[in-house]
Amino acid sequence: MDRMSNSVLTVSKLTKRFGSFTAVDEVSFEIRPGEILGLLGPNGAGKTTTIQMLLGVVTPTSGSIEAFGLDLSTHREAVLQQINFSSTYIAMPQSLTVEENLWVVARLYGMSDIASRVDQIVKKLEMEEFRQKVTRKLSSGQMTRLTLAKALLTAPRLLFLDEPTASLDPDIACKIRSILKEERRSSGLSILYTSHNMREMEEMSDRIIFLQRGRLVAEGTAQAIVDRFGKADLEEVFLNLARESNVPSTP
Amino acid sequence: MKLHRVTALILRHLYLYRRSLPRIMEIFYWPFLDLVIWGFITLYLARYQSEVPGFVTFFLGALILWDVLFRAQQGITITFLEELWARNLMNLFASPLKPSEFLAATMAMSVMKVTFVSIVLAGCALVFYSYNVLIIGVWLIPFVLNLVITGWIIGVLTTSLIMRFGQEAEVLAWSMVFLFQPISCVFYPMEVLPGWLKAIAWANPAAHIFEGMRGVLISGQAPFSNLVWAVGLNSVLLVGVVIWFYRTMAYCKDQGLLVRVGE
């Protein structure tokens, strides 16, 4: 079987331009079944725009996105039914309770047996004590767990996680990472993972892709990237590339 | 179109109203206040009813029917604004939800709001002013249905503009409909308008409904011609604004505005 047919997500020469500014420049990568792919890059590197294009809320200027063998632009509904996302920066409706928010999401994705599915996810993410709480009263850590619960609730085959542990204490963050690994092991879930915590990226990612000024500049395992740049660890590679990003490119 | 996705959005908004007194007041308070103020003005002016026959009847009737149109528009636009305020658009449009399902849910919310407001207004008019809105007769049904659709047209148009220009354009949710009020001929006949404005009013389905209402109340004549015009214009305009909504959404996705619209 060739690599293309073995991927849950294949991104080819994905480009997004806003006027004369190129946010994402001919980026190509793939995610294999059950793989956790780390997406690294300094602020403004194009990570968020890439994820927004993968979720169909920003239209690419050129290039293609194929998930589960289907083109996102022509099979949006079928593709997004199998994808979900969680971002520290995207909230859930504040006036609904945690449980109400989960019910709405479950209905939106046409889940069956919603009550038991919601119970299951609430238990898994240890949200029992605040399941009846109005979302606006949640702490940032509880909010992060809710957005993660929303993402896992729909049993996706592919998950996009944008800094999922950014506002969590180390204990909860560790539990979240364990849950994600367990989901991957039990259901073959594939994950695109962004984080600014390099140790976490090394721990979680099977492979890493590194974006800089919208271009993919490195791809491989964490160790391979560290070796390629001749640095001590991933954090040094990140700092090196991030500081290069701050130097204006020559025309 | 998948019903479960439409009902998911309706459920989300019903949850919202379940524990929000200000939102419930927004549905009932203003229409009720309108009725009280205009009702007293009507009672005062009724002293001169001999000079304008049927004045009370069509004035209160017009007030209630105008509120049907206004609430139908608000039902669409406020439902969208609630998602914008909650910064929930990314969650919705990164899901399998289709724009058509989103519109269907907002239209269902609009029908619910119109139903509640109409019951309250009709009940209050009966209790406080002994005015029975059913005096319009069986024609009330097509009148209301057409005004709801006109409200949807203005609502979808307004929603598209807010999506395109962002939260700073949200004032349109309350003001846009009043741009249509002078050419809807709610409280006066179309004949009082100057020629150029009469031509514009003729293209507004609501104007035909209010003309029809006055015809029924004053002379009892069947408003077939008005209804044909209203249905025809509503059909064309509804298709037009839905196409406009889709085009705006495509533009917003291209420019990355959809995910930034709440900022």
Using a CB-CB cut-off of 8 Å, the residues of chain A touching B94 are: 55-57, 80, 85
Which range marks the domain in which residue A106 is found? Answer: 91-155
User: Does residue B8 sit at the A interface (CB-CB below 8 Å)?
Assistant: yes
In SS3 terms, chain B reads as: CCHHHHHHHHHHHHHHHHCCHHHHHHHHHHHHHHHHHHHHHHHHHHHHCCCCCCHHHHHHHHHHHHHHHHHHHHHHHHHHHHHHHCCCHHHHHCCCCCHHHHHHHHHHHHHHHHHHHHHHHHHHHHHHHCCCHHHHHHHHHHHHHHHHHHHHHHHHHHHHHHHHHCHHHCCHHHHHHHHHCHHHCCCCCHHHCCHHHHHHHHCCHHHHHHHHHHHHHHHCCCCHHHHHHHHHHHHHHHHHHHHHHHHHHHHHHHHCCCCCCCC
| Averaged pLDDT for residues B113-121 | 90
Helix (H) or strand (E) holding A197: none
The answer to whether position A251 is within a domain reads no
Could you say which of A77, A91, A97 has the minimum Cβ distance to residue B87?
A91
Output phi, psi for A65, to 5 deg. Answer: -125, 120
If we measure between CA atoms, which residue out of B82, B79, B84, B164 comes closest to residue B114? Answer: B79
User: Helix B55-85 vs helix B205-219: angle between axes, to the nearest 10 degrees?
Assistant: 150
Confidence of residue A3 (pLDDT cuts 50, 70, 90): very low
pLDDT of A184 above 70 = yes
Using a CB-CB cut-off of 8 Å, the residues of chain B touching A214 are: none
Distance CA B71, CA B139 (A): 20
The answer to whether position A177 is within a domain reads yes
| Shared-domain flag, residues A8 and A46 | yes
**Minimum CA–CA partner of A84 in chain B:** B95
| Shared-domain flag, residues A123 and A237 | no
Distance CA A167, CA A142 (A): 9
Distance CA A120, CA B70 (A): 44
Question: What pLDDT is attached to residue B14?
Answer: 94
Distance CA A90, CA A76 (A): 21
Confidence of residue A247 (pLDDT cuts 50, 70, 90): very low
| Averaged pLDDT for residues B184-197 | 93
User: Does residue B10 sit at the A interface (CB-CB below 8 Å)?
Assistant: no
CA distances from B112 to A93, B8, B69, B71 (A): 21, 15, 13, 10
The answer to whether position A250 is within a domain reads no
For tokens 């919601």, the residue is: A118
From A155, A176, A203, the end of a domain falls on: A155
If we measure between CA atoms, which residue out of A155, A106, A138, A112 comes closest to residue B11? Answer: A106
Helix (H) or strand (E) holding A2: none
Question: What pLDDT is attached to residue A2?
Answer: 44
| Shared-domain flag, residues A25 and A69 | yes
Angle at B255 between CA B254 and CA B256, to 5 degrees: 95
pLDDT > 90: percent of chain B: 64
| Shared-domain flag, residues A149 and A95 | yes
User: Does residue A179 sit at the B interface (CB-CB below 8 Å)?
Assistant: no
**Minimum CA–CA partner of B102 in chain A:** A108
CA distances from A229 to A185, A222, A224, B210 (A): 31, 11, 9, 75
| Shared-domain flag, residues A169 and A148 | no
Does the distance separating the beta carbons of A58 and B256 come in below 8 Å? yes
| Shared-domain flag, residues A25 and A126 | no
If we measure between CA atoms, which residue out of B3, B164, B5 comes closest to residue B95? Answer: B5
If we measure between CA atoms, which residue out of B78, B172, B64 comes closest to residue B126? Answer: B64
Question: What pLDDT is attached to residue A171?
Answer: 86
pLDDT of B152 above 90 = yes
The answer to whether position A198 is within a domain reads yes
**Minimum CA–CA partner of A81 in chain B:** B96
Q: How many beta-carbon pairs below 8 A join chains A and B?
A: 88
For tokens 């009709």, the residue is: B122
From A155, A187, A211, the end of a domain falls on: A155
| Shared-domain flag, residues A73 and A177 | yes
| Averaged pLDDT for residues A205-232 | 93
User: Residues 25 to 84 of A: which have CB under 8 A from any B CB?
Assistant: 49, 52, 55-59, 76-78, 80-81
pLDDT of A250 above 50 = no
Look at A57-61, A90-94, A154-158 and tell me which has the smallest mean pLDDT: A90-94
| Shared-domain flag, residues A167 and A151 | no
Mean of pLDDT over chain A: 91
If we measure between CA atoms, which residue out of B87, B17, B97 comes closest to residue A108? Answer: B97
Q: How far is CA A239 from the centre of its chain?
A: 22
Residue A141's SS3 state is helix
For tokens 């542990």, the residue is: A165
Question: What pLDDT is attached to residue B130?
Answer: 84
| Shared-domain flag, residues A64 and A181 | yes
pLDDT top residue among B218 and B119: B119
From A155, A182, A205, the end of a domain falls on: A155
Look at A22-36, A164-178, B176-190 and tell me which has the smallest mean pLDDT: A164-178
Distance CA A108, CA A92 (A): 14
Mutate which: A21, A57, A134, vs B, most B CBs within 10 A: A57
Tell me the nearest-neighbour CA distance from B3 into chain A, angstroms: 9
| Shared-domain flag, residues A76 and A19 | yes
Using a CB-CB cut-off of 8 Å, the residues of chain A touching B97 are: 108
Does the distance separating the beta carbons of A108 and B253 come in below 8 Å? no
Confidence of residue A5 (pLDDT cuts 50, 70, 90): low
User: Does residue A174 sit at the B interface (CB-CB below 8 Å)?
Assistant: no
User: Does residue A94 sit at the B interface (CB-CB below 8 Å)?
Assistant: yes
| Shared-domain flag, residues A240 and A167 | yes
| Shared-domain flag, residues A241 and A163 | yes
The answer to whether position A17 is within a domain reads yes
- Which CATH number covers residue A31? 3.40.50.300
Does the distance separating the beta carbons of A150 and B86 come in below 8 Å? no
Per-residue pLDDT tens for B2-45?
999 999 999 999 999 888 888 888 777 888 888 888 888 877 87
Q: Count of domains in chain A?
A: 2
Question: What pLDDT is attached to residue A49?
Answer: 95
Question: What pLDDT is attached to residue A104?
Answer: 97
Distance CA A13, CA B132 (A): 67
